[in-house]
Amino acid sequence: MTEFHAMPDGRRVAYRLTRGADAASPAIVFLPGYMSDMAGSKATALFDWAQAHGRTCLLLDYSGCGQSSGDFADGTLSRWRDDVLALIEATIEGPVLLVGSSMGGWLMLLVALALDGKLAGMVGIASAPDFSDWGYDDAQKAQLEAGESVYEDNPYGPEPTPTHAAFWADAQAHRLLHAPIPLTCPATLLHGQADREVLWDKSMKLGEMLASESVVIQLTKDGDHRLSRPNDIARLLAAVDAMLPAA
């Protein structure tokens, strides 16, 4: 069942929550990618697995996405980070295991840095930190700096994918890969070597910059960006399960 959390400015953030038997066990929080939502295949598979195994799992739609209110054009990493933190504060008392896909992998890091003692671990799927820096050419960056939106071909649908100037400017202020990232929790980074949207060297760089001494990077040679085939989903669930104490 979808529920809604009211933000201070009146926005309503849609979420789904299943509670496990052990409140002390980390709650799984899934962070979808850019223009994605909690109805995606990875989110749904993770939620169903959590229900079947008595684990707590939180899914949400960022403001302006899916069933949440707001305009997508107003979305930024800062706003979506605050959505996630508000939902965690409202629904989860114990530790948190963050799972982030693509842009959600960047957001995962920003949320993790704000969680402090509640962070139990992270699982990144084709994580894309700093894509505002390396994901656009000079002409596109000039457009964005001038306050214009950039539209690109969408490999997953007929409508072009927009990047709005406000999102890009905010994202540039949240770049992380230029310095050590002070996160010491266990982390598993999953990436496909056939990913044409986020090259797998981004996960290698992220693993290098994390302060944690417990970082596992799993590469799938024929894996694409989505990593949503049955074997990819099984690998994700195994990575999440390995982060959790025995039920």
Would you call 48 a catalytic residue per the annotation?
Answer: no
Would you call 102 a catalytic residue per the annotation?
Answer: yes
User: How far, in Å, are 4, 101, 221, 236 from residue 225 at the CA level?
Assistant: 30, 9, 12, 14
Closest to 197 measured CA to CA, from 148, 138, 134, 142: 134
CA distance 132 to 52: 38
Please name the residue that has the structure tokens 């994901």. 135
Buried b (16+ CB within 10 A) or exposed e, 35-70: bbbbebebbebbbebbeeeebbbbbbbbbbbbbbeb
> Exactly one of 127, 195, 203, 232 is catalytic; which is it?
195
> Exactly one of 102, 127, 132, 203 is catalytic; which is it?
102
Secondary structure (3-state) at 105? helix
Closest to 165 measured CA to CA, from 185, 137, 140: 140
Would you call 174 a catalytic residue per the annotation?
Answer: no
Closest to 242 measured CA to CA, from 97, 108, 95, 63: 97
Active site residues: 102, 195, 225
